[in-house]
Structure 1
């Protein structure tokens, strides 16, 4: 699909290979998620953002210059839990601190359908303008795509103009599912795509459960 962008950056490919290893502990996993997110974020934001002139300022040498800043109002929407590992990379890249609104979604074990258990999107009146020009969903793994699609629909209903879905790794069918939820309003930026999921909805060969790896809850 034309709104799916798979990174060809050599460093993303190398770091993704390191992240796949069962030998990568929580410290290394956290660092690799951050580094891959930074590379993906730079690529995604370069394509999604525009610049506007905001005034004049002066350099230390006394020369005047034109001040430029990002034109869009941006919100970050990490999917709990694992999306928390991507926040710092995006806040470091953006020139202005963005609002961060968390969505809690999990997959029901039997059906693998998404269930929302937490949503702190601010309530908005129908008379006000859109809550954001751009919402950036942060979710390291897109397996079946159900969670990402549910998040997209929630943000669309909330009234955002556009969505970036940024992920480290996805399964092909799941990424297609998410990208097709709102094709005219969503762009997907992802580090890599694997061919399939297993019967438990885990990507194969995949990365395992990134939330468990980040927060040391393996075997819960």
Structure 2
């Protein structure tokens, strides 16, 4: 039985409605999937950027911390150098004061004569030469000559050897020297400095650890005491 035009139109409309419904459902399914993929990708991008931001600020924090450590180390070094400079200045002032007091030693004739005797005899023993030349201040010639004459017998008896000592009458120690002598071997190539200044410098060098400990206390970083 043939369908009437009305029936055909009705079936066509029904098929069209079905196709349209399927198309709408498919479109909704595609939109939902696209939205889900979008949200996943957005989440991934956000997480990636968040990690990058965190890494950036962690790196910055480490850099700032390192800069703080460097700055603190520099400040500590500067402070340490200032302390060392202040200590060195104090010791230099102490030595300067000691040098200024050296001149008082020569003013006591008896004590200074005794001191010259010891300096001359020590020079003899240090050089151990048969001939020596002694240089002193011009005003000390007589006392040095007396010290030489007194110590030659002592030297001969101890060393079992003779010695000739000459006082240089052409060149004297500087007037700025507080006292003492310089002694040379015969050709002048070997020198023993026994001026008051040189003895003070030697004593200061030998006693510097003790002086520093007296002034500033024991050094906690010092491992050896001798």
Q: Return the TM-score normalized by structure 1.
A: 0.22
Q: Return the TM-score normalized by structure 2.
A: 0.21
Where is the helix percentage greater, Structure 1 or Structure 2? 2
Larger Rg: 2
